């Protein structure tokens, strides 16, 4: 009987080893690029030697990384069908994490775009959105649950065709010692939602292919990203495209930045962050 195994000659350890090693060097549409400078898609204007993370994340998959303060992370929606659900934690004290309510309340603005700080519940900035040519993002709907995935797509399991965001976050979190208690509401990029006067939500979808958002780490962070359809995506089919990610060494926000003259709340958040790090000797 012909099987997949028949394509492999793995009868002995030596043959199995040779077979395994012959697989190295292959290329997939979605994969990390190591070293990061070897990325086939280097971001324009960025010194390749400063790249610290380069990866393409498949639709329905996830990634995670610990990044240094001052790391600039570019998320790119390759086909216009990605939706990057993001959670951030202070790696020094991971019970400090993204607080979506404070992220919209404190800057007096619900819609995320360039200049918006992503705040923790402890009065500090975890990251700043420093570039955005999409403008289609969401801080209201979070990610999908198993219950929502089963109701909409018939399946939500990570090993199935339509993983839910929460189940992927659970796996990503576990790889940093975090559990379900550590998964607060998330924000998502590349699929927009707007609020009508009566409070109802309108799904405004994608800004199209090739759009990017840059996040600047203001603390050393655990970054969890699930690339799954937006909870309010009305399409009955599970539709999610690849998410490209590049990160490089950059410079954290200076609390004295004149841009913050118009954002006294944000300025105090950067001051708190700088004070916290100074007290720790960082």
Partner 1 sequence: MRSLETILDPASYADGTVLDLAGPLAGGALILDEIVPPRAPWSTVVEQGEILTIVDVGGNQSADCLLYNARDTAERYSVPDTIAWSGNIYVRTGTVLRSNEGNPLATVVANETDRQDTIGGACGKESNTLRYGHHTMSEHGCRENFLAEAAKYGMGARDLVSNLNWFMNVPVEADGTLGIVDGISGPGKRVAFRAEMDILVLVSNCPQMNNPCNDFNPTPLRMIVTAGPA
Report which of 112, 35, 55, 97 is spatially closest to residue 227, judged by C-alpha positions. 55
Binding mask 165-184 for partner 1 (x = CB under 8 A): -x------------xxxxxx
Q: 155 with 60: CB under 8 angstroms?
A: no
Burial 155-180 (b: 16+ CB within 10 A, else e): ebeeeeebbbbbbbbbebbeebebee
Distance in angstroms (rounded) separating the CA atoms of residues 267 and 262: 9
Among 106, 130, 131, 277, binds partner 1 (CB under 8 A): 106
Among 40, 199, 258, 281, binds partner 1 (CB under 8 A): 199
Please state whether beta strands 243-249 and 137-138 pair in parallel, antiparallel, or not at all (unpaired): unpaired
Q: Which stretch binds partner 1 (CB under 8 A): 4-12, 40-48, 189-197, 206-214?
A: 189-197
Please state whether beta strands 71-77 and 211-217 pair in parallel, antiparallel, or not at all (unpaired): antiparallel
CB atoms within 10 A of CB 88: 27
Q: In terms of CB distance, is 72 or 97 closer to partner 1?
A: 97
Among 58, 68, 110, 131, binds partner 1 (CB under 8 A): 110
Q: In terms of CB distance, is 33 or 238 closer to partner 1?
A: 238
Among 60, 231, 242, 252, binds partner 1 (CB under 8 A): 231
**Run of H or E including 267:** helix 264-279
Among 100, 129, 260, 274, binds partner 1 (CB under 8 A): 100
Binding mask 244-273 for partner 1 (x = CB under 8 A): ---------------------xx-xx--x-
Among 36, 172, 213, 232, binds partner 1 (CB under 8 A): 232
Our finding on whether 218 is near partner 1 (CB under 8 A) is no
Q: Which stretch binds partner 1 (CB under 8 A): 37-45, 101-109, 205-213, 219-227?
A: 101-109
Phi then psi for residue 21, to 5 deg, are: -70, -25
Among 102, 132, 214, 218, binds partner 1 (CB under 8 A): 102
Structure tokens at 33: 């690029």
Report which of 203, 71, 227, 81 is spatially closest to residue 144, judged by C-alpha positions. 227
Interface positions with partner 1 (CB under 8 A): 95-96, 99-102, 104-106, 108-111, 119, 121-124, 140-143, 145-148, 166, 179-186, 194-195, 197-201, 231-232, 265-266, 268-269, 272
């Amino acid at each position: 009987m012909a099987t997949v195994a028949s394509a492999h000659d793995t009868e002995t350890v030596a043959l199995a080893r040779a077979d395994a090693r012959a697989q190295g060097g292959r290329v997939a549409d979605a994969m990390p690029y190591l070293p990061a400078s070897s990325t086939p898609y280097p971001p324009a204007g960025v010194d390749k030697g400063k790249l610290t993370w380069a990866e393409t994340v498949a639709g329905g998959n996830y990634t995670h990384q610990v990044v240094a303060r001052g790391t600039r992370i570019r998320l790119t929606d390759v086909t216009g069908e990605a939706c990057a659900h993001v959670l951030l934690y202070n790696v020094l004290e991971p019970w400090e994490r993204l607080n979506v309510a404070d992220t919209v309340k404190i800057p007096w603005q619900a819609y995320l775009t360039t200049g918006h700080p992503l705040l923790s519940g402890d009065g500090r900035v975890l990251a700043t959105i420093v570039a955005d040519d999409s403008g289609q993002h969401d801080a209201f709907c979070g990610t999908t649950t198993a219950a929502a995935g089963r109701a909409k797509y018939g399946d939500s399991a990570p090993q199935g065709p339509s993983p839910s965001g929460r189940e992927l976050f659970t796996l990503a979190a576990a790889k940093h010692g975090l559990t379900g208690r550590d998964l607060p509401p998330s924000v998502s990029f590349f699929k927009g939602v707007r609020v009508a006067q009566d409070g109802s939500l309108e799904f405004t979808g994608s800004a199209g292919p090739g759009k990017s958002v840059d996040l600047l780490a203001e603390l050393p962070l655990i970054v969890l990203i699930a690339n799954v359809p937006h909870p309010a995506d009305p399409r009955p089919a599970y539709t999610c495209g690849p998410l490209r990610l590049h990160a490089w060494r950059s410079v954290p926000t200076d609390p004295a930045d004149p841009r913050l003259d118009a954002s006294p709340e944000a300025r105090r958040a950067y001051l708190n962050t700088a004070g916290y790090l100074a007290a720790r000797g960082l």
